Structure 1
């Protein structure tokens, strides 16, 4: 469960340089200056879904989006997100081929008792989808009745104010992370989500508390110490993606005033975006929200 919740600070769907001890980390918003940037740009760490009552979105943050030339997110807006539905479909077989009979019995019992879905309904509605969909189904209540999305809110502001929107990667690239998980890891993730008490509400509360503390290094630590995390996860899902983003970010901020929004787990840590940009010669200054 902790692994899945960590995705909400690092994956839009649904981090070794030494870090100086004196480097402040208690901010989700950082100003980027230096190295001949056109004008100060900003980078902000999001949770891709967050309970409505915990949605931290002050007017000062909104103003920085409105006055930017470009909004940069992990993927470039809602229109691209909708493509994810096609990528959630299996090429062959059914979702339920992944599970043992005992596991299927647990799944169908749970969905009938907690979600009101009979086995036949589950097979018809989800059979052709990839197993990861079940994790989202089992944990939907952890975010409350009306969860908020930073990305959707940022995109709405950008479109209202004619701010250009750009993505650092494609939906296909994001979905490839899930596809690269082994069948065993996917099944374990789903069964963990099914067994979680209160649909993961307790872990969600911990994650939200860490997020609202604005300590980006603690957010990073939450992501890399999850039950299913591994050196491979940290390298492929955080480090490589962080490194891939640096070149396009440099190109953008050289010419335009940018507001960059990525999952908060990507900001902290020795190979987080903040440290990588510093290593390129930029000045990163935390901004109080």
Structure 2
């Protein structure tokens, strides 16, 4: 739920943990946080709805917001969406399962995309106190300190965003994206990626290693998610309140960060720009080339709302938007 966890899951072969059994944190929020949440949502365009239809001329796009982690309650949703996918001319994912599998297989021969292969390690770039706190959190996720010391900071950020109870759960990453992939494969629907994994790697490495380490240290508390955060995110997703997920992450992340509001807002703005604004704009280059056909666009639900969201961007391009059953 926190920050980088919204990007998705890249699971390494770690020690197994118990199944996640968290509870929804929203009813436990203080009145002040409840008010802050409602205020943050008041001006957000398209804050709800996991299935929207965008039409322009003979082009029809079904935008489906996804959740990358699995939830048994997704089964009936997929049944309802199956006819949509089965009749589409094509389906577009952030990155197709096939491309992701190829990337993961490539790591067996070259770990440099996610590991520091030369130069100082994270132990050399952090204070002893900061390293001890970080390595303890990673140990809960089955990542030994000797391995963590050589991981790229952005990759560790994602690891922190995965609740320990999810590590090595064989079904953890069979979320909505994977389930829609199964449907597309069963019906022979062509699948396409909206981005290349290589471009994602380059995006994460735009900052120097030292800058990435500084951000990791400053935000390590805000990045960590547990079973309760996972349950809250899943519930909000299935209620189709995707903008709420993002704003909850922002509010709760600030409380856990220990940073000043100014410093935290700067970190959040950078996260938002990299993982949402820039990627949405890049995806639009591909989406706008879809002409005179019916296509499904299945991407993380957090990419739908806000002025920079895909729905607002399509509206500005002259598409008519209609919320559809999910």
| TM-score bin, normalised by smaller chain | 0.7 to 0.9
Counterpart position of 1:250: 288
Tell me if the contact between 2:64 and 2:299 (Cα under 8 Å) persists in the aligned partners. yes
Structure 1 residue 184 and structure 2 residue 214: aligned? Answer: yes
Q: Distance in 1 between matches of 2:232 and 2:114?
A: 29
The aligned length equals: 269
Shift of 1:209: 2.5
User: How is 1:85-234 mapped onto 2 (pairs within 5 angstroms)?
Assistant: 85=107, 86=111, 87-93=113-119, 94-109=121-136, 114=140, 122-123=145-146, 125-138=147-160, 139-143=162-166, 145=169, 146-147=171-172, 148-180=174-206, 182=211, 183-190=213-220, 192-193=222-223, 200-222=226-248, 226-227=253-254, 229-234=267-272
Shift of 1:72: 0.3
Structure 1 30/248 Cα, relative in aligned 2: closer, same or farther at 3 Å? same
TM-score normalised by structure 2 residue count = 0.70
Shift of 1:142: 5.0
Shift of 1:268: 0.4
Counterpart position of 1:4: 4
Shift of 1:101: 1.6
Counterpart position of 1:263: 300
Could you list the runs of 5+ residues in structure 1 that have no partner in the other structure?
none
Shift of 1:74: 1.0
Deviation per CA, 1:167-215: give whole Å up to 9, x if none.
111112223343335221123344555xx5xx52222233223222212
Structure 1 189/20 Cα, relative in aligned 2: closer, same or farther at 3 Å? closer
Structure 1 108/285 Cα, relative in aligned 2: closer, same or farther at 3 Å? closer
Stretch moving more, 238-247 or 175-184 = 175-184
Deviation per CA, 1:79-103: give whole Å up to 9, x if none.
3354264421224233433332223
Deviation per CA, 1:125-158: give whole Å up to 9, x if none.
4443323444444534354844232222222222
Q: Distance in 1 between matches of 2:305 and 2:272?
A: 12
Structure 1 104/259 Cα, relative in aligned 2: closer, same or farther at 3 Å? same
1:58 match: secondary structure: helix
Q: Distance in 2 between matches of 1:154 and 1:174?
A: 22
User: How is 1:24-103 mapped onto 2 (pairs within 5 angstroms)?
Assistant: 25-37=47-59, 40-50=60-70, 52-55=71-74, 57-83=77-103, 85=107, 86=111, 87-93=113-119, 94-103=121-130
Deviation per CA, 1:244-266: give whole Å up to 9, x if none.
222321212x1332111111111
Structure 1 177/23 Cα, relative in aligned 2: closer, same or farther at 3 Å? closer
Q: Distance in 2 between matches of 1:137 and 1:234?
A: 19
